[in-house]
Amino acid sequence: MHHHAQLYIDGHWVAPASPGLIAVENPATQQSIGQVPEGTAADADRAARAAAAAFPAWAALPGAERGAYLQKIADGLKARQDELGRLIASEVGMPVKLATRVQAGNPIFTFGACAKIAAEGFPEERIGHSLVSRVPTGPVACITPWNFPLHQIAAKVGAALAAGCTVVLKPSEVAPLNAFLLAEVIHAAGLPAGVFNLVTGYGPVVGEALAAHPALAGVSFTGSTAAGKRVAAVAAATVKRVSLELGGKSASVVLPDADLAAAVKGSVAGCFLNSGQACSALSRLLVPAERYEEAAALAVQAAAAYTLGDPMVDGTRLGPLASGLQRQRVRAMIDQAVADGAELLCGGSHPSEELPLGYYVRPTVFGRVRPDARLAREEVFGPVLAILTYENEEEALAIANGTDYGLAAAVWSADEGRALAFARRLQAGQVDINGAFFNMLAPFGGFKQSGYGRELGRHGVEDFLETRSIQLPQRQG
């Protein structure tokens, strides 16, 4: 059990303003595995003021020294990687081996990368008689989701600290335990008091208090599009710098000359990662109409390989969804797709008889999904793939771009140049060609209602910087 009764504010573990606690549940067993404080607006205020007080000294610290702190954090997380993998697997349900590699490994890499970026610094630039520099935005709030909890924390907190900002972190109440482990590592690394602060609680209370707080200069949020709109609206009252990483309905477009078997297998993997609980999940598979039957059979075959089960057991490839509410939403989307006339090829909303406990949803594939159907336009956030067909490339492009989202996409073709030309026309923040691997140093973020701003690598750090120009007097003669 992981019981936390204190918040981390101004370099100390402190009692929250209210005695309320939030229970944290293991989605595979439906049993409580810990608790965290139910923070209040008063706690958010205390943390924001601590971050604001610590900002001038942290911003003035040479980048190499900030980088050294960040490397200590990376090393501290590395020493506890196996513990982190097990903890996050128990919070969100990702199979433990994958969680150890991805959910724990990615944050370690990110903090290390941010350490190097901080040490490299942000050189000033001369433009005519102006001196242009990049300076830290100020104290910021980082509000993070539950699906890749520590990965998203690292992408924001690591980048903010590298840029010279101080931070108040509000993790998701669904999966907050890993944030306390991070706070322990940060405390051991010796960061100056107030540079990093942790306040747990609910979004409408703590999240909104941070977004509205006048002492904070920015807010970086990852979550649903609806919640992101609310964060932006609240932050607008103080004209904060806002970065939003929101939903997606990403298309995987298989061009006619592609290796269909490889494309379908790769698309299913891109849809089912973390039980489909990924904003960039490839949840729409677009195939030529004349190859639909073959693609459908391949998708069913690929889905069958995703063994549903306890995330702590070897051989499990698909764990539970993170909560009962999430399972309810996904099942409702599946039932709606059936009612709308989509062809259910495998899976479905009924529970698995072998798994009476846990928030499981069987790997599900729908075929002959209409582009205007709800399943083709709205984010499911579960292991549900929709197969759509097209007659020509222009129709494929129109379907792929025909949603409110623009986070990610994929293109498959035997001709890399053809795939690249198609990729350049997609309205998406990142596009994979022929199953190319995710790049942890490249910018991540979306177009349209998938949000604005970028995370990861140097672009992610620069999201926490402001640009200033100083006009120098010109000598006469």
**Under 8 Å between Cβ of 420 and 413:** no
**Under 8 Å between Cβ of 362 and 390:** no
Residue 154 burial class via C-beta count within 10 angstroms: exposed 0-12, middle 13-18, buried 19 and up: buried
**Under 8 Å between Cβ of 181 and 108:** no
In the three-class reduction of DSSP (H, G, I as helix; E, B as strand; rest coil), residue 133 is classed as: strand
C-alpha 415: how far from its chain's center?
31
* Distance of alpha carbon 200 from alpha carbon 179, whole angstroms: 9
- Give the pair of three-digit tokens for residue 66: 């900030």
Q: Comparing C-alpha atoms, which of 235, 252, 250, 7 is closest to residue 137? A: 235
Q: Comparing C-alpha atoms, which of 202, 138, 146 is closest to residue 179? A: 146
Query: What is residue 183's DSSP assignment?
Result: H
Which residue reads 């409702």 in tokens? 332
Active site residues: 245, 279
